[in-house]
Amino acid sequence: MNKVDFIIVGQGMAGTLLAHELISANKKILIIDKKLPASSSRVAAGMINPVAMKRCSPVNSAEYYLQNAFKVYRNLELKLKAKFLYSKPILKLFANEDIQNIWKVKYSNEDMDKYIASFSAKNEFPFLENSYGGAIVEPSAHLDVSFFLELSRKFFAELNVLSDEIFSFDSFDQMNCIYKDNLAEKIIFCEGHRLQSNPFFNYLPMTPTKGEIMKIKIPSLNFFNKMISKGIYVIPIGNFEYVVGATYNREDLSDRVTKEGRTFLINKLNSILNVDYEVLSVSAGVRPNVKDRRPLVGVHPEFSKLFVFNGLGSRGVLVGPSLSQELTSCLISGLPIEDKIKGHNNISRFN
C-alpha cells in the first residue's frame, strides 16, 4: 500500500494551486487527473480584477485577495522558472452617459479611488469605439492560465505525484480513504463541472455554463497594454494577437464550438473595435459555476476525510491563491474548516 498525506482529484486551477501549497508544506500528495475536453481552463480569461464591473464596486475582500494573488503567482513563476503573470490595467469602456456618471460618482464617494486610476476621454483611442470614454482599473493583471496549468502538470509529473487517469469511484473506499492501492489521510475533490457526477458532493447546487472564446489578430495593432472590458473582454497576448470572450450557455455543455457563439462574440467585438481583425480560432469549455456564485470549499457532512475545493468561478485566479492557503492550513492542522473558510465560501451553507 502506497501511503500519502493527501489525494487531489483534478488539476484545474483549484487542484493545481492546492497541490503547490501542499508540496511547499512538504506533504506527500497524489494528483489524479486526466486531461479531458470541455475543461473550464480552455475558456478561462485569467483576469485578476478587483472590481465588479457592472456594479462599479470592489469585490468582497478585494485588497486581501489581490495582494496575495500577486505574491503567490510571482513565487510560482520563480518555482516553475517561467513567466505567466502580466500586470496590465483594465480599460472599462462606458456604453452610455448613465454608466459614465455612475462610475464618476462612485469614484468620488465610495472609496473606488483605490481601484480607478484615471478616466479616459471619449475617442481617446482611435482604434476603439469609445464615444463615452472609460475608466482605467488597476492594480490588475492577466494570468496565462493554460500555460500555468501545463507548466504545473509537467512539474507534478517530474515529481512523480501525478497519475494520468480518470478517478474511479468504484475503486474508492470512502471510510478509510483508500483509492486503489493508495492510502491517504484526506482526499480533496477539485473536479470542475464534473463534480455533478461525484456521488459524495453532487448535492451541491452547481449550474455549469459553457463558454466560448476567440483568438483574433489585429494587423494594425501590434500590442495594446490594457485589457478591454465592455460586455466582453479583449486581452492582448502579444504578436498582434488578442483573446476575446466569452459566451454563457447553460443548455449545451459540450466542448463543441457553435455558430451562435461565434456570432455573439463577433457582434460584440464589432461594437468595440474600429479596425479590421481576423479570427484565428474559437474554443469552448464548461465552467463549474455555482448557484450563488460563491466557491465550494469544505468537508463532507458525513465523511470527515472527504473535502471539496471547487467552483471558483470567474474570479478563480483572484481568490484561488488565498482559498488554497486557507484550506491547506485546515488540512494540515486538523482545525475545524470554519476557522479559516468564511461562511459564504464554505459548503456548510448548503448542509
CATH number of the domain residue 7 falls in = 3.50.50.60
User: Predicted confidence band at 109 (pLDDT cuts at 50, 70, 90)?
Assistant: confident
pLDDT of residue 36: 81
User: Predicted confidence band at 307 (pLDDT cuts at 50, 70, 90)?
Assistant: very high
| Domain finish residue from 252, 269, 287 | 287
pTM beyond 0.85: yes
pLDDT of residue 94: 96
Segment 241-251 shows an average pLDDT of 93
If asked whether residues 327 and 216 sit together in one domain, one would say no
Angstrom distance (rounded) from CA 298 to CA 204: 11
Residue 139 has pLDDT above 70, yes or no: yes
Percent of the chain with pLDDT over 70: 99
If asked whether residues 260 and 334 sit together in one domain, one would say no
If asked whether residues 51 and 187 sit together in one domain, one would say no
If asked whether residues 199 and 51 sit together in one domain, one would say no
User: Predicted confidence band at 55 (pLDDT cuts at 50, 70, 90)?
Assistant: confident
Chain centre to alpha carbon of residue 238: 21
User: Which DSSP helix (H) or strand (E) runs through 119?
Assistant: strand 116-120
Segment 210-222 shows an average pLDDT of 95
If asked whether residues 8 and 120 sit together in one domain, one would say no
Sign of the CA dihedral with 66 first, then 10, 163, and 144 last: negative
If asked whether residues 136 and 211 sit together in one domain, one would say yes
Residue 39 has pLDDT above 80, yes or no: no
User: Predicted confidence band at 165 (pLDDT cuts at 50, 70, 90)?
Assistant: very high
If asked whether residues 53 and 137 sit together in one domain, one would say yes
Domain limits for position 296: 2-43+146-204+292-350
| Domain finish residue from 262, 287, 312 | 287
Residue 302 has pLDDT above 70, yes or no: yes
If asked whether residues 70 and 129 sit together in one domain, one would say yes
If asked whether residues 191 and 241 sit together in one domain, one would say no
What is the secondary structure of 18-76 as a DSSP string? HHHHHHHTT--EEEE----TT-GGGG---EE--EETTTTEEPTTHHHHHHHHHHHHHHH
| Domain finish residue from 237, 254, 287 | 287
Q: Which of 29-43, 204-218, 225-239, 284-298 has the least mean pLDDT?
A: 29-43
pLDDT of residue 122: 92
If asked whether residues 193 and 55 sit together in one domain, one would say no
If asked whether residues 188 and 58 sit together in one domain, one would say no
Residue 42 has pLDDT above 90, yes or no: no
If asked whether residues 12 and 122 sit together in one domain, one would say no
Residue 37 has pLDDT above 80, yes or no: no
On whether the CB atoms of residues 281 and 261 are closer than 8 A, the answer is no
Residue 195 has pLDDT above 70, yes or no: yes
Select from 247, 251, 253, 349 the least CA-distant residue to 297: 349
* Beta partners for residue 234, in sequence order: 228, 244
Residue 66 has pLDDT above 80, yes or no: yes
What value does the mean pLDDT of the chain take? 94
Q: What CATH number does residue 101 fall under?
A: 3.30.9.10
Segment 89-106 shows an average pLDDT of 95
Select from 6, 92, 12, 76 the least CA-distant residue to 311: 12
Domain count of the fold of the chain: 2
